[in-house]
Amino acid sequence: MAEEMKPGLFEKGGKLYWLHSSIDAFDTFLRVPGTVTAKGAHVRDGIDLKRVMIMVVIALVPAALFGMYNVGLQTSTLYGLDWGFWHMFWYGLLRMLPLFVVSYVVGLGIEFASAQIRGEEVNEGYLVTGFLIPLIVPVDVPLWMLALAVAFSVLFVKEVFGGTGMNIWNPALVARAFLFFSYPSSMSGSAVWVSKTWVHALKGVDAVSAATPLAIAHDGAFDAATGAVGQYSFMDMFYGFIPGSTGETSVIAILLGAILLVWTGVASWKIMVSSVAGGLLVGWLGQLAGATMVPCYYQIVMGGFLFGSVFMATDPVTAAQTETGKWIYGFLVGALAVVVRLWNPGYMEGMMLAILFMNTMAPIIDHCVVSAHTSRRAKKALTA
């Protein structure tokens, strides 16, 4: 279809030339472009950014599917509804769909418009961002808020810098930060994490308070004898049967994604490992210092720590680019996240702020690594 329309109408000088970026995006989505190499290497690897990005989306699928089931599970359990498995899953799926639709329609709309204005091809980066955003916000977040957050993040975090590859901060996290600071009542507290809209039986029922394990631990309700945080055992948190953002709860689902990302080499295992190491170390120090009673490995399974380490901190554009830099960057992400969790009275979750802060610092880390390397080279030259 797109191919038949292309000559004349959408070509340079054609009436609808201003739409060429969008047409091109759909066209190349369906078929590999027929462009041949003009200079440099005459043959090229089959890999392109579309493939890279789709790998990340596939890696997110287990977390998304489990999250949908868990949305239903939490509602069913806390309101005593006694739903079956498929009922829970369908409820979660239907609750999540509007978030995905809003995220993609608003985000891709702005991406396409920006590509048109710049006269460039539409970049694939938003395929991932658009999938991430619904997974890291409370499921009942009002859609207009989500739309605003997406628009803000795509426009001011990505497009003003020049699009995917040029941005300094992770756009999905900025969308979350935008919601967090602009509409705190919809984003935090213990009433937002379990969905009850759309359930007729619950019309007029007050929201059940369902604090996340992270919040419970923050308040000090940790049972050292059973190892439970409030009503949630360690295994509940490991499997993901706890309230929280849709994608973040299940360690198993996230690990499945992590295996794919590391296997394909799309995300850096160094960042993942060092981030977990940083979190464990600070968690352990916090325990020693008496800031918390929760064992350090709980920090990894609670809240968005692992999701952030695997999917957000590893974004190749906003993370450190040098291999040594990745170790430092990842470690500081994990360490800072737990520092925020343990030593501040306001926010339960430190992962978002830790990653955004380290995004800001990543170029400095790289600068130090590269400078150290070049001065070592210069010294070698003098002694050689």
Partner 1 sequence: MSNNLDLKKGLNIPLKGVAAPVVIKTVSPDVVAVKPTDFFGLVPRLLVKEGDTVLAGSPVMADKMHPEILFTSPVSGTVKEIVRGAKRKLLAVLVKADVKQEFVDFGKAAPKDADQVKDLLLKTGLWGSLVQRPYGVMAGLDVTPKAIFISTFSTAPLAADMDYVLAESLSDFQAGVNALAKVAPVHVSIHKGDSAFAKVKDCQIHVVSGPHPAGNVGVQISHIAPIMKGETVWTVNPLHVAAIGHVVNTGKLELTRKVAVTGPAAQKLGYVVAMPGMPVKEIADIAGDVRVVGGDVLCGENLGADGYLGFFQNQITILREGHDREWFGWAKPFRPKVHSSSWCYFSWLTPKKEYDMDTNLHGGPRAFVETKCFEDVTPMDIFPIYLIKACLAGDIEKMEKFGIYEVLPEDLALCDYVDPSKNEIQAIIQQGIDLMIKEMA
What is the total count of residues that contact partner 1 (CB under 8 A)?
51
Q: Where do we find the tokens 């790289």? A: 366
Q: Distance between CA atoms of 353 and 74, rounded to whole angstroms?
A: 27
Q: Which is nearer to partner 1, 48 or 223 (CB)?
A: 48
Separation of alpha carbons 16 and 110, rounded Å: 19
Residues 308-327 that bind partner 1 (CB under 8 A): 316-317, 321-323
Q: Which is nearer to partner 1, 7 or 40 (CB)?
A: 40
- Does 32 interact with partner 1 (rule: CB under 8 A)? yes
Q: Which of 11, 18, 33, 209 binds partner 1 (CB under 8 A)?
A: 33
Helices (H), 250-350: 251-264, 269-289, 298-301, 305-307, 323-342
Distance separating alpha carbons of residues 342 and 286, to the nearest angstrom? 7
7 binds partner 1 (CB under 8 A): no
Binding marks (x or -) toward partner 1, 95..124, rule CB under 8 A?
--------------------------x-xx
Q: 297: buried, middle or exposed (CB in 10 Å: 19+, 13-18, 0-12)?
A: middle
H/E segment holding residue 228: strand 228-229
List 129, 153, 164, 359, residue binding partner 1 (CB under 8 A) = 164
Residue 154, CB-side half-sphere exposure with 13 Å CA sphere: 28
Q: Report how far residue 313's alpha carbon sits from residue 9's, in angstroms, rounded to the nearest whole number.
A: 43
Residue of the chain from 182, 209, 360, 374 that contacts partner 1 (CB under 8 A): 374
Residue 296 or 369: which CB sits closer to partner 1? 369
What's the rounded Cα separation, in Å, for the pair 104 and 90? 21
Q: Which is nearer to partner 1, 5 or 54 (CB)?
A: 54
The distance of closest approach from Cβ of residue 18 to partner 1 in the complex, given in angstroms and rounded to an integer, is 19
Report in angstroms how near the CB of residue 154 gets to partner 1 at its nearest. 15
List the structure tokens of 107.
Answer: 């985000």
Q: Which of 286, 246, 228, 264 is nearest to 96 (CA)?
A: 246
Our finding on whether 1 is near partner 1 (CB under 8 A) is: no
| Residue 61 or 291 having the CB closest to partner 1 | 61
- Considering the complex, state which of residue 91 and residue 104 has its C-beta at the smaller distance from partner 1: 104
Q: What is the DSSP letter of 284?
A: H
d(C-alpha 52, C-alpha 25), whole Å: 16
Binding mask 263-302 for partner 1 (x = CB under 8 A): xxxx-x----------------------------------
Integer-rounded Cα radius of gyration of the chain? 23
Q: Whole-number minimum distance, CB 37 to partner 1, in Å?
A: 5
Q: HSE-up of 181 (CA within 13 Å, CB side)?
A: 8
Q: Binding pattern to partner 1, positions 12-31, x when CB under 8 A?
A: ----------------x-xx
CB 335 within 8 A of CB 281: yes
CB of 6 to partner 1, least distance (A): 12
- What is the CB neighbour count within 10 angstroms for residue 242? 29
Told to check if 384 binds partner 1 by CB under 8 A, we report: yes
Alpha carbon distance 205, 182 (integer Å): 27
The number of beta carbons lying within 10 Å of the beta carbon of residue 113 is 16
When asked if residue 87 is in the footprint of partner 1 (CB under 8 A), the reply is no
Contact window for partner 1 (CB under 8 A) among 110-118, 161-169, 206-214, 297-305: 161-169
CB of 108 to partner 1, least distance (A): 16
Q: Of 36 and 224, which CB lies nearer to partner 1 in the complex structure?
A: 36
Site mask, partner 1, residues 35-54, x = CB under 8 A? xxx-xxxxxxxxxxxxxx-x
**What is the rounded CA–CA span in Å between residue 60 and residue 314?**
13
CB of 95 to partner 1, least distance (A): 28
Per CB under 8 A, residues contacting partner 1 are 28, 30-37, 39-52, 54-55, 121, 123-125, 162-166, 263-266, 268, 316-317, 321-323, 370, 373-374, 377, 380-381, 384
